[in-house]
Amino acid sequence: MYALVLKSILKKTLLFIISIYLSLLIVETFLIYTDLDRKSVYLDLNKIIGKKINEIDYDKRSLVEFYQDYKKINENVVLSTTSTGLNTHIDSTFTLNDGTKVFPLSGISNRETVLCNELGYFAKYKADQYGFNNTSNWKNEYSYLLIGDSTVEGYCVDKKDNIAGNLQNLLGKKNSVLNLGRGGNGTLKNYAVLKEYIDLIDTKNILYFHATANDLQDLQVELRNPILKRYYNDKNYSQNLANLQDSIDENLIFKLDKILEKFINEKKIVKNKKYYFIKFIKLNRTIRFKNKVLRELKNKEERSSEFLKEHIFGELIKTEFRSILKSMKNLADERNINFYFVYWPYYYTDPDSHKKSEKIINLNDQYYSDILSVATELEIPVINLKKSLFELEKDPLSLIRLRVLGHFNEKGYKLLSKIMLNKIENKK
């Protein structure tokens, strides 16, 4: 009797599990055909970019594919540690022989570096002796020192067309601008870069670029890093990175080789037809959709989407952001250097209106007044490039990648550099 009851229960349980699994396979199929689990503004914009790329002359190779081809021309070339993620989501830290943990703030030195491709060609640069994007090794004195993220490093244009290159051309002085920009840097990393390298040169002016795209999100993450947090808590803290460049080079090259190996292995797996079938039976898309919904339901302060609209960083701006910005200004004041706050805009076209009429959306615009208020309160001269750009340029979309999304193109960098220098010169 009990055996029959147990058998019946097991049979019903098995049928229930199979029914649930088959239902989830239907959900999986639905997600594959609708892309609902991937649905985002960023994906929609990238689809538009993808269509435009197919209509023009554009180098469609991946970063790694281009690197592998270019390495046949220059065997010493390296990938950028910022465009491969080593400056952001991939751990770049390493440990010295004495047990000291090091957090690099620069790239690989004295090597030609493949940066990125947004405009149809792969931008490259020869790094200086500390791994930054400068035309030559450092000299003693500069007119301008630039601090910021990928926009300052030079995504994704050749050296002559980035901010430093344009400023030097406008000034008519070769090597008059030192570029310490690094892709992926937020406010705290930028402060750390300034602390590490400011005393190696003399400069008259520091231009700190606040990137509206993601600086606040990056700062939120940086404050969780114990090494970066020490820069924030201890005015005198330094890793003495300038003296560790050989070790930094060795370890970054090692990590880049690992990234390359992983990419090649994953590409081989993806080419295998079994790969997609295994993902299907494992309910890969369904699980991702479930995780996406759960993230949406979590505390909003833990979210850091690039297209976040909620006003969740207000307190961060009033506290840590303000404190770090004040510390930067103090560093400059102690050395009698002019310190400028450059508000760098980031905008994109609304994907919902793209086919009808182009509508511009300013990313993270909800913090516009808050950010400028902090700089003004700290008595830092502000160069508001968003305001100037939209006043002077009738077609702002012509300045960004394919009129859709991304960093500025050559025309955009040139115009904004000219506006910026004019404002500085007029304030003197």
Domain residue extents for the chain = 1-34+272-307, 63-257+313-427
Between residues 232 and 27, the one the model is more confident about: 232
- Ranking 162-166, 353-357, 363-367, 423-427 by mean pLDDT, the lowest is 353-357
Average pLDDT value over all residues in the chain: 91
Report residue 341 as tokens: 């706050």
Q: What are the tens digits of pLDDT across the range 60-113?
A: 999 999 999 999 999 999 999 999 989 888 899 999 999 999 999 999 999 999
Does 3.40.50.1110 match the CATH number of domain 63-257+313-427? yes
Number of other CB atoms surrounding residue 391 within 10 Å: 9
DSSP result, 378-426:
TT--EEEHHHHHHHH-S-GGGGBGGGTSSSB-HHHHHHHHHHHHHHHHH
Residue 141 has what pLDDT?
A: 95
Q: Is 103 left (phi over 0), alpha (psi -120 to 50) or beta?
A: beta
Q: Is a pLDDT exceeding 60 seen at residue 300?
A: no
Residue 306 has what pLDDT?
A: 53
Residue 298 has what pLDDT?
A: 63
Residue 302 has what pLDDT?
A: 41
Confidence of residue 226 (pLDDT cuts 50, 70, 90): very high
Q: Quick check: pTM over 0.85?
A: yes
Residue 354 has what pLDDT?
A: 65
